[in-house]
């Protein structure tokens, strides 16, 4: 399954989560979004966002100061 990539490197809180939410709204249920961010706050923010919105945070990693989050859109979008 292909995944959409959202590059929010250089953006600070709350922009990475706001942009993530906007892109996820345009995806179909079950599709994956990979978010690339450099803001350290994005780690806690993405975890909280996924927990509260019901989307699945499938993977999270960091390499050379870039955080990568793989999110699967929930089956029903009530937002």
Domains of the chain, residue spans: 3-72
Measured in degrees and rounded to the nearest 5, phi and psi for residue 18 equal -60, -45
Q: Give catalytic status of residue 13 as yes or no.
A: yes
pLDDT tens column, 1-51: 689 999 999 999 999 999 999 999 999 999 999 999 999 999 999 999 999
The active-site residue out of 11, 13, 27, 57 is 13
Token pair listed for 18? 């706001």
CA distance 3 to 78: 22
Q: How does residue 79 score in pLDDT terms, banded at 50, 70 and 90?
A: very low
Class of the CATH-defined domain 3-72: alpha beta
Q: Is the entire prediction scored with pTM above 0.85?
A: yes
Q: What is the pLDDT of residue 1?
A: 64
Helix (H) or strand (E) holding 62: strand 56-63
pLDDT of residue 61: 98
């Amino acid at each position: 399954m292909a995944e959409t990539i959202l590059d929010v490197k250089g953006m600070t809180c709350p922009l990475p989560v706001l942009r993530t939410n906007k892109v996820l709204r345009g995806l179909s249920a079950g599709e994956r979004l990979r978010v690339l961010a450099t803001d350290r706050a994005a780690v806690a923010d993405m975890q909280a966002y996924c927990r509260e919105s019901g989307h699945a945070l499938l993977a999270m990693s960091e390499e050379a100061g870039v955080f990568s989050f793989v999110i699967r859109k929930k089956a029903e979008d009530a937002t």
